[in-house]
Amino acid sequence: MDCIYLTGIRCYGYIGYLPEERALGQWFEVDLKLWLDLTKVAETDALADTLDYRSVISSVQNLVKTSKFDLLERLAGAITNTIILQYDLVERIQVNVIKPHAPIPDFNGKINIEMTRSKVI
């Protein structure tokens, strides 16, 4: 199976458990790995035969910007479900949602939620 990777999708959103996270917002990063058959587009070189990256990126950005979830897990699930349902060519998806600056005392790392799902046939 072939893959398309879309990495480093930066979005500002209002997801978080703490009230100040939902009020002030923060930056998030999203990485996608999309499994699909690229056989036809490798021959035709036609955008109509593949996935329009711009559309996928826009869908992710819109979800992050407009969602009001408490947990990153819920955001990862919403992205996963939206992409796999909205784009017929995508057979499997791996989503990484990264919170680069979690408001946790004495923690300077990143929080990363990874979710992998396949299309139910």
Question: Looking at residue 121, what is its pLDDT?
Answer: 64
In a domain, 120, yes or no: no
In a domain, 117, yes or no: no
In a domain, 116, yes or no: no
> What Rg do the C-alpha atoms of the chain give, in angstroms?
16
Which residue of the set 68, 99, 110, 119 is catalytic?
A: 99
Q: In what order do the strands lie in the sheet with 2-13?
A: 2-13, 26-36, 92-99, 111-118
> Structural domain tally of the chain?
1
In a domain, 80, yes or no: yes
In a domain, 70, yes or no: yes
Question: Looking at residue 25, what is its pLDDT?
Answer: 95
40, 49 contact by CB (below 8 A): yes
Work out whether the CA dihedral 78, 83, 86, 90 comes out positive or negative.
negative
110 is catalytic: no
- Whether this prediction's pTM lies above 0.85 is answered by yes
Q: What are the pLDDT tens digits along the chain (121 aa)?
A: 899 999 999 999 999 999 999 999 999 999 999 999 999 999 999 999 999 999 999 999 999 999 999 999 999 999 999 999 999 999 999 999 999 999 899 999 999 999 999 997 6
Domain harbouring 77, CATH code: 3.30.1130.10
